[in-house]
Structure 1
Amino acid sequence: MSSSLSFTLQEIMTISQYFKTTEDFIRLQLVKKSFSCLTDLFKENPISSPIFRYITTQNLYSREDKIIPNLSCYIIHYKVNYNEYLLLKKDRFYFKHIEYSKSDREKTKGKIPQEITCIGEKCFYNCDRLSSINIPDSVTSIEYSGFKNCLRLSSIYLPSRLLKLKSNCFENCQSLKVISFPSTLTSIPDACLWKCYSLTSIQFPSNLSSLGVNSLSQCTSLISFSLPPHLEVIGDAAFWGCCSIRRILFPSSVSSVGKGAFWSCANLFQVSVSLHSTPIKYGVGCFRGCKILSQVEGAKQINW
């Protein structure tokens, strides 16, 4: 407790911004008399609590938060769909998470507004007439099955700020030929590109660390790609049925290749492991059905 007495009030304010509950702030104010006015010094509330009496900006973290009238600014942190945003939009209100939902798509005829930060769950699901789409740079996430079953989708632009993809987001986009992921992504989720039969080329993000289960299963035309230098985990059946792949080079960062990861890659004839790589754990049947592959360079033991 004595160490806290050496902090200035400004330093205590900085530290307390990471507190999670009202009780945390109250306990801190009891430590030292000069800390008793701590919550009165905040210009905006770091948590949902009425103890910050003199704020000029209110952060609204949930729909249950009550708006304090006549402040200079309000920041909405909880997710709203685009229609809600249009209804709530007014001077002094700012929105952190605006989702483009299926109902929003139907109202805007599929043109994604520039304010959107998230493509909602099944937003474009079964849009079999959609042939191309540009996603605004404001978008940072695409939810579960966002573009699943878009049978005619042949090209898509992914924004440079994209941080997260949920599973099955491009599953069964049978006409998609090329896709380039931005460097901001660190993982490709389960079944992300499953059954994208026309896909020939992928540009993986440079910071990719993991490929999910069935992430590229049955991409039967896939030929051109390089596994990025920081990839660590290749999930179960990640490349199952990718029968056009001929060569694979595992970067030195790879530590695990999942069960059936390259199962039935019938034309795969060369698999190499980068020099100075750590030992790789190969899952059962990871190369099963690779009829012309006889060995994996640099691998000591594999359960085919």
Structure 2
Amino acid sequence: MITSMYFNDIKDFINLEIGIKRFQGNIERFHFNPITLNEYSRKFFPNIETFHIYKYNDKIFNDGRIFKKVIWYLVSYSKYLKEKEQGNICKNIKYTKSDRKSYGNTIPLEVKSLGYECFYECSSLTTINIPTSITKLGDCCFNRCSSLTTIKIPSSVSEIGDGCFYECKSLTSMNIDNLQYISKERIFMNEPVLVRIKIPENLQTINGKNIEKKDINEFIIPSSITKLGKCCFYECPTLTSINIPSSISKLGYECFDGCSSLKSIKIPSSINKIGFNCFNECSSLTSINIPSSINELGNYCFYKCSSLKSINISSSITSFGDGCFYGCGCEEELKKNKRIPRNCFDRGW
């Protein structure tokens, strides 16, 4: 029964009972549905008392002995309060901009994430407590909170959205529980995903210490990191070279976009895709070796790499993005390769 909770399809449950005699009656033991149900699969779970709703468009049943629902998809705080009144449970609660206007600036402990523009232009906000239940700060979450002076980001936060602290002109102090690295322009944080956020314009101290200017080309990626987040090294003009460890499985889009001094980089075989704008306008990049593990080149991934004179095109690459070689130093040579579609040389934009 414990093992079958991880099944994805009703066929797996049926095959288990058909194939092994001593497991007959397994489905009947469940008092909740471990998978999404439809009209066909509902009849195989006759003793459900708690109905689990995994996705927004799941078929919902109110028949039999069902007396409680458990909602797993993302719901607003106001939706959670309505469901709670009916005795239902919500597992993934987001505090939205509308919720904040209705219930105030204190983030409820039940909330797991802050939504898009949650505190946008909240000029009365001077300080805020982010509870350890929060794992994500949405895009533009504290955008234009002009009176916000200090903030503490707990180690539970694994994702900070774009423009999260944009134009927080009074924000001078920030505490981050899981700080990895500080440069003049940005903060790198949150293992095992290396997430980059730009330092707010007037920020003076982080974790009680004055911000220290460090040359970004000193940065070493720890082997514990498994993913480089979107825009992670975006426009780091002093980055000349970097070694990506084999622990990295994904490069976020625009990861090295605008790294104008980047001359060399080694891509490990643990990566299978070079994403959108990944090396866009890396004008000092002279050569790159694409491992045979790569099967996709994203749109504009080597756009305007004007110094790129050498690049190997492996037979493993089956998908070429628009404009991925436009403006490259080896563009004319690449055009001779009949495997490369013509759209790879389009200017786009």
TM range (shorter): 0.5 to 0.7
- Over aligned residue pairs, what C-alpha RMSD do you find? 4.5
Report the CA distance shift for 1:235/1:58 in structure 2 as closer, same or farther (over 3 A): closer
**Contact between 1:210 and 1:235, CA under 8 Å: does it hold in 2?**
no
Greater alpha carbon shift after TM alignment, 44-53 vs 233-242? 233-242
Match of 2:52 among 59, 63, 70: 59
Query: Which segment drifts farther, 203-212 or 218-227?
Result: 218-227
Give the CA deviation at 1:96: 0.8
Residue in structure 2 matched with residue 207 of structure 1 by the alignment: 191
TM-score, length-normalised on structure 1? 0.62
Change (3 A) 1:203 1:181: farther
1:216/1:17 CA distance change after superposition, 3 Å:
same
Give the partner amino acid of 1:205. Answer: M
User: Counterpart of 2:138?
Assistant: 143
Q: 1:260 aligns with which of 258, 261, 264?
A: 258
- Partners of 1:135 and 1:83 lie apart in 2 by 19
Normalised to the residue count of structure 2, the TM-score between the two structures is: 0.55
SS of the aligned residue for 1:153 comes to: coil
The answer to whether the Cα contact below 8 Å between 2:54 and 2:72 also exists between their aligned partners in 1 is: yes
Residue in 2 that maps onto 1:132 = 127
Equivalence for 1:106: 101
Report the secondary structure of 2:19's partner residue: coil
Report the CA distance between 1:178 and its aligned residue: 3.7
- After TM superposition, the structure 1 = structure 2 runs for residues 1-304 of structure 1, keeping only pairs within 5 Å, are 13-49=1-37, 50=42, 51-63=44-56, 64-67=59-62, 74-90=69-85, 92-183=87-178, 204-205=188-189, 207=191, 209-211=193-195, 215-216=197-198, 223-224=211-212, 229-230=222-223, 233=228, 238=233, 240=235, 253=245, 258-261=256-259, 284-285=282-283
Q: Distance in 2 between matches of 1:181 and 1:250?
A: 25
Secondary structure (helix, strand or coil) at the match of 2:70 reads strand
Q: CA deviation at 1:19?
A: 1.6
| TM superposition shift of 1:21 | 2.1
The answer as to whether partners of 2:95 and 2:111 remain within 8 angstroms in 1 is yes
**Residue 104 of structure 1: CA displacement?**
0.8
Deviation at 1:159, TM superposition (A): 2.8
Query: How many angstroms apart in 2 are the aligned matches of 1:53 and 1:61?
Result: 19
Q: Against the structure 1 CA distance between its residues 93 and 177, is the aligned structure 2 distance closer, same or farther, given a 3 Å change threshold?
A: same
C-alpha distance 225-34 of structure 1, shift in aligned 2 (>3 A): farther
5+ long unaligned stretches in structure 2: 205-210, 268-277, 286-306, 309-349
Tell me the distance in 2 between the aligned counterparts of 1:129 and 1:144. Answer: 20
Say how many residue pairs are matched: 248
CA distance in 2, matches of 1:248, 1:139: 36
- 1:29-80 per-position Cα deviation (integer Å, ceiling 9, x unaligned): 2223433312012243211232222244432224542345755754221222
Deviations 1:230-266 (A, max 9, x none): 4675866846489xx9x99978859997242378xxx
Could you say which structure has the greater relative contact order, defined with CA pairs below 8 angstroms and 6 or more residues apart? 1
Letter in 1 for 2:194: S
